[in-house]
Amino acid sequence: MPKFDTVIIGAGLGGLECGLILAKHGKRVCVVEKDALIGGSLQTFRRKGLTFDTGFHYVGGLDEGQMLHTLFAYFGLMDLPWVKMDTDFFDEVIIDGKSYKFANGYDHFCETLSEAFPDQKENLRTYTNLLREVGQNTINSFAPKDADVVYTQSLFAQSAYEYLCKTISNPLLRNVLSGTSLKMELNPALPLYTFAQINSSFIQSAYRLRGGGMQIAEALRKQIEALGGEVRRNAEVTDFVATEDGKIASVVINGSESIDADMFISDVHPATTMKLLHNSHLVRKIYSKRIESLDNTFGIFTVNIALKPNMVKYLNRNIYAYRNEDIWQLHDNSKNDASAILISFAPPTDGTEYTRNIDILTPMRWETVSQWYGTKIGKRGEDYEKLKLEMAKLCIAEASKYIDKLDEAIENIYCSTPLTYADYTATEHGSAYGIRKDYNKLMFTLLTPRTPVANLLLTGQSLNLHGILGVSMTSIFTCAEILGMQTLVDDIKRQ
C-alpha cells in the first residue's frame, strides 16, 4: 500500500472534516473507521422504512453570514435539505409545567423573554449583549493571537453559573436561560465561553436536517474520495508503530495490516488515543495518565419512537421539559427519573403535516450501565433490557404531558444508552460532550491539537468546544497545525 501524507483515525465529523480540508490542499489522506458506518454521532439507523438520528438533532448559526454557514459552505454542506425552525419559537422550555419561548435573533429573543419577565428586561439585555459579542467574535478565533483571542480566553476562565447569578437576579429566569442546555452538561465549573457560544449560535438561527445527520458524513466522504482520498470502514486501529526518533511510522489495522503516513490525526477520545500508545515509548506515562484521569461529561439515554401515520403533528421546535428548577444540578442526577427531557421532532419526508418519528433524550450517568461494559450489543442480558424499557416508559410518560395521545400513536420504540455510544463512537464512558471543561483548570481540561508526539494531532469534541459548530471549528485548528492558519482563513474567505 502506498504511503499517505496523513492517516486520520475515526470518521466522525471532526475526522471527516480534517480529511476534506487536507484533501483540498492536495494531501493524500486515509480516514480509517472501526465501524461499518462512518459519522460517529451523525450516524442514523433505519427501521421499517423510517430513519432515526442517534446524536444529531439540530444546529445553530446556519443563516448566511453566520459562523456555521461560513464553515458548512466551505465543507460543501449547504446543499443538504436543511429545514429552518420556527424563528418566533424554535425552542420551548417548560419548567414545572410553565412554558417559555426562545426566539431567533438577539433582540427578538430578549423581547420575547422580557414579556414573561418584565422586571428582568435590563438584565436580559445585558445577557443578550454578551451572546451577541461572543457571536460576533467567533470568527476571530481563527485570527492570530491578539485582543480578540484574549477576550475569548477571558470568558473561558469565568464560570457560566456565576455569571448568570451575578447578571440575572431572578432564579427562575436563570434556569429558563439554561433550559435549552441538554446540548451541553451544566455544572458549576462550566466555562462561560462554552455556555455563551453554544447558546449564541442557536439564538442566531436554528435548523434541522430532513432525512438525518448521516447525510453530512456521506457528503464529506464523497468529497474526500473525489479528491483522491480514502475512507475505510471496518478498519480499527489497534496499535501505533513508532520510529527511533520519537515519531509514529504507521498504524496497525485490525491487528495485522499496517498503513504508513507522515502525519496522524486522532478523532477518537484523547483517553482512547492514549491507550493505543501504551505499548510505545512515544508518550510519558505521566502525560497519558493525566489525559485518562480527566472527568467526562454525562451520557444520554435516548428513546427513538416510530409513530403511526397521521397521528402526531410535526412541531417545528424542540421541547425541553423539567419537573423542577434545579437544572444546574443535572450533572449530579443519579436518579434516572426522566425529570429532564428533550423532545425532538423529525421533519416529515412525505409532504404531510405529520411526523413519523420523535426522539426523547434524558441525561444518564455511566455508572448506570457500567456493569455491562464489555458485553456485546444485543447480548447484554435481561436486566439491561429491563432497565432500557423502564427508562423508556418514564420518558414517554413525561413526553405525553406535552404530546396529545402519544401512547396511542406509538408503533415501535428503540433505545440507546451511554453504553451504546461507547460501543459505536469509542467515546470514554459514553460521554455525550467529551471531556468536562473546568474554568478553574483550563490548562488541564482545554486541550490543544498538539500532543507530545511530533506527528500526532488530536481533533474532535473533547478539545475545545463540542457540538457541530465546535467540532467544525476544531477541525480548522487541527489542520492549521499542518497547513498554517492563514492559508485556511484565506480558503474560508473565498467561499
Residue 439, domain CATH: 3.50.50.60
Stretch (H or E) spanning 263: strand 257-266
Please answer whether residues 52 and 441 qualify as being in contact, where contact means their C-beta atoms are separated by less than 8 angstroms: no
How far, in Å, CA of 217 to CA of 75, rounded?
11
Residue 9 lies in a domain: yes
> Is 36 a member of any domain?
yes
Alpha helix segments (H runs only) across 144-238: 147-156, 160-167, 171-177, 192-204, 214-226
Domain assignment present for residue 93? The answer is no
Separation between Cα atoms, residue 67 and residue 492, nearest integer Å: 11
What are the DSSP calls for 152-175, one per residue? HHHHHTSBHHHHHHHH---HHHHH
Same domain, 149 and 137: yes
Pairing between β-strand 4-9 and β-strand 257-266 as defined by DSSP bridges: parallel
Region of 426 (left: φ > 0; alpha: ψ -120 to 50; beta: rest) is left
pLDDT at 351: 85
Residue 61 sits in the same domain as residue 149: no
pLDDT value of position 147: 46
Burial class (CB in 10 A: 0-12, 13-18, 19+), 361: buried
State the Cα–Cα distance between residues 295 and 275, nearest whole angstrom: 16
Q: What's the pLDDT at 281?
A: 78
**Same domain flag for 66 and 169:** no
Q: Residue 29 and residue 21: Cα distance in Å, rounded?
A: 10
Ramachandran angles phi, psi of 329, nearest 5°: -100, 5
CA distance 63 to 204: 8
Nearest to 206 by CA among 341, 103, 128: 103
Q: How many domains does the structure of the chain reveal?
A: 3
Instruction: Decide if 155 contacts 193 (C-beta within 8 A).
Output: yes
Whole-structure pTM value: 0.94
Sign of CA dihedral 436, 265, 148, 76: negative
Do 198 and 465 meet the contact criterion of CB atoms below 8 Å apart?
yes
Taking the alpha carbons at both ends of the chain, their separation in whole angstroms is: 35
For 260, the grid coordinates are 504508513
Question: pLDDT averaged over consecutive 10-residue blocks of the chain (495 residues)?
Answer: 89 97 97 94 91 94 95 97 98 95 98 97 97 88 59 82 96 95 89 94 97 96 98 94 87 93 96 84 86 92 96 97 83 77 95 95 94 90 95 97 95 95 87 93 89 95 90 96 93 83
* pLDDT at residue 328, rounded to an integer: 86
Contacts of 159 (CB under 8 A, 6+ apart): 188, 189, 190, 191, 192, 439
Q: Are residues 287 and 340 in the same domain?
A: no
> 3-state class of 186 per DSSP?
coil
The domain boundary, picked from 166, 184, 204, lies at 204
Which residues are within 8 A (CB) of 374 and not within 5 positions of it... i.e. 6 or more apart? none
Between vectors from CA 19 to CA 16 and to CA 20, what angle results, nearest 5°? 90
- Regarding whether 389 and 317 lie in a shared domain, the answer is yes
Q: Which residue range(s) make up the domain with 138?
A: 105-204
User: Is the Cβ–Cβ distance between 485 and 144 less than 8 Å?
Assistant: yes
Q: Which of 158, 181, 204 marks a domain boundary?
A: 204
* Three cell numbers written together for 313: 403533528
Residue 351 CB neighbour total at 10 angstroms: 5
Of the residues 385, 416, 447, the one at which a domain ends: 416
Q: Which helix (H) or strand (E) holds 10?
A: none
What is d(CA 396, CA 417) in angstroms, rounded to the nearest whole number?
16
Note whether 399 and 329 are same-domain residues.
yes
User: Is residue 99 a part of any domain in this protein?
Assistant: no
120 part of a folded domain? yes
12: nearest Cα among 474, 418, 484: 474
89: in domain: no
What's the pLDDT at 172?
Answer: 95
Provide the pLDDT for residue 1.
Answer: 57
Please give the Cα distance from 368 to 364 (Å, whole number).
Answer: 7
Residue 105 half-sphere exposure, CB side, CA atoms within 13 Å? Answer: 8
Same structural domain for residues 118 and 140?
yes
Between the CA of residue 464 and those of 59, 121, 372, 469, what are the distances in Å? 18, 32, 30, 11
Identify whether residues 438 and 483 lie together within a single domain.
yes
Judge if 21 and 41 occupy the same domain: yes
Task: Give residues with Cβ within 8 angstroms of 487, minimum separation 6.
Answer: 25, 480
In a domain, 95, yes or no: no
- 8 A C-beta contact, residue 470 and residue 462: no
Q: Residues 325, 355: one domain?
A: yes
Are both 225 and 242 inside the same structural domain? yes
Residues 403 and 452 in one domain: no
